[in-house]
């Protein structure tokens, strides 16, 4: 092995070995790492992409949000299930729509041509005192679905703000403004966060700490008394959206490694991560840094070989080079490069890969 690479390779091996448990525990939350396959793409940080993340069902017809009620109702007494699951808040338009969409999926599978009558019959048994209101809500939902399908091409071609305005105009007309805002409350909050991130990204002369302080202030304004619970439940998503800001990445990229580590720790701490989680992330950052440094050296040697050799001789030397640097991953990297993807030429996303 080239002596010049030996210390760095040894450091990588030791870091990976020491962090085996760390990587296992954080695999679901570490974002796109530098060793991921070409199919994984980096999240965009421009304002249009930020608002697109919050779009959810905007261009579709669904209204259930934040992971609610995607499962089928349990087998058995459906009326009792509906009363137990939704009865306490059945007068809330958002709860009504969640229930109706779950029932639509259920009955459309059982009876594709006569599902609506079956659904209405169950509603009449479960909530007879609200039957007229729930039946009206179902018809509003179906009218909205038809409108979205009829205007799909037109909506798709509109700029983001115009598309959002057109959707809300139709929702307000069909459901009434107050009811529509309750049904799509989660979407409104998501858009508020996305819009605030775009504004934060554009702040002139702001530090990373300044932007984080503004971010937390905007989250509190959006979620009110539920802010702490929401942040706790969405730590990774909220942290990633902040780290994806171009201004934040630019500032992190100009820092010394020590200062960058301090800022990443501060960002994660502000998002509510405890000391153990902060330590795990710190160790993962070290593994990533070593990985990227190794990748940079690999690409430099690869470029030199490409200048000196060609054809089968170049391929043989590249095979040896990949094996020397990446061992078990050498074949995967060879396949990526054959497809035109070079993982170490992508931009470094601090705290993300």
The model's pLDDT over 40-89, given as tens digits with 9 standing for 90+, comes to 333 333 333 333 433 344 344 566 554 456 577 777 799 999 999 999 99
Same domain, 202 and 350: yes
Same domain, 35 and 178: no
Q: Per the structure, how many domains does the chain have?
A: 2
Q: What does the pLDDT look like over 152-208, one tens digit per residue?
A: 999 999 999 999 999 999 999 999 999 999 999 999 999 999 999 999 999 999 999
Instruction: Please answer whether residues 344 and 332 qualify as being in contact, where contact means their C-beta atoms are separated by less than 8 angstroms.
Output: no
Q: What are all long-range contacts of 157-164, with beta carbons under 8 Å and residues at least 24 apart?
A: 160/48, 160/51, 160/52, 163/58, 163/59, 164/58, 164/191
Give Dmax over CA atoms of the chain in angstroms: 83
Read off the pTM.
0.74
Per-residue pLDDT at 33: 38
- Domain termination site, one of 153, 183, 213: 183
Q: What does the pLDDT look like over 278-320, one tens digit per residue?
A: 999 999 999 999 999 999 999 999 999 999 999 999 999 999 9
- Domain termination site, one of 158, 183, 208: 183
- Domain termination site, one of 165, 183, 201: 183
Same domain, 1 and 148: no
CA angle, 335 as apex, 331 and 338 as ends, to 5°?
Answer: 135
Q: Which range of residues forms the domain containing residue 179?
A: 64-183
Same domain, 20 and 113: no
Per-residue pLDDT at 63: 61
Per-residue pLDDT at 76: 78
Same domain, 209 and 301: yes
Given a cut of 60, whether residue 6 has pLDDT beyond it is no
Per-residue pLDDT at 75: 73
Same domain, 50 and 99: no
CA angle, 109 as apex, 105 and 112 as ends, to 5°?
Answer: 105
């Amino acid at each position: 092995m080239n002596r010049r690479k030996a210390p760095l390779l040894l450091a990588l091996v030791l870091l990976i070995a020491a962090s085996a448990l760390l990587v296992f525990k954080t695999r679901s939350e570490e974002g796109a790492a530098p060793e991921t396959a070409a199919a994984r793409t980096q999240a965009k940080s421009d304002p249009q992409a930020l608002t697109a993340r919050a779009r959810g069902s905007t261009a579709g017809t669904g209204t259930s949000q934040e992971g609610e009620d995607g499962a089928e109702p349990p087998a058995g007494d459906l009326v009792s299930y509906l009363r137990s699951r939704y009865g306490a808040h059945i007068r809330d338009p958002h709860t009504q729509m969640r229930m109706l969409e779950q029932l639509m999926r259920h009955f459309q599978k059982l009876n594709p041509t006569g599902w609506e009558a079956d659904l209405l019959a169950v509603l009449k048994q479960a909530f007879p005192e609200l039957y007229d209101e729930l039946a009206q809500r179902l018809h509003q939902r179906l009218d909205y679905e038809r409108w979205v399908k009829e205007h799909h091409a037109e909506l798709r071609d509109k700029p983001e703000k115009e598309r959002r305005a057109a959707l809300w105009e139709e929702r307000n007309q069909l459901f009434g403004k107050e009811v529509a805002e309750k049904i799509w409350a989660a979407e409104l909050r998501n858009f508020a966060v996305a819009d605030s991130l775009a504004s934060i990204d554009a702040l002139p002369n702001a530090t990373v700490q300044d932007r984080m302080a503004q971010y937390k202030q905007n989250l509190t304004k959006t979620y009110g008394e539920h802010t702490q619970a929401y942040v706790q439940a969405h730590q990774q998503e909220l942290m990633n959206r902040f780290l994806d800001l171009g201004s934040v990445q630019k500032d992190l990229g100009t820092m010394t490694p020590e200062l960058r580590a301090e800022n990443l720790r501060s960002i994660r701490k502000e998002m509510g991560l405890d000391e153990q989680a902060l330590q795990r992330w710190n160790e993962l950052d070290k593994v990533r840094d070593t990985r990227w440094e190794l990748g940079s050296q690999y690409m430099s040697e690869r470029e030199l070989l490409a200048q000196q050799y060609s054809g089968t001789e170049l391929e043989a030397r590249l095979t040896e080079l990949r094996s020397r640097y990446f061992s078990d991953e050498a074949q995967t990297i060879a396949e990526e490069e054959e497809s035109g993807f070079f993982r170490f030429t992508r931009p470094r996303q601090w705290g993300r890969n």
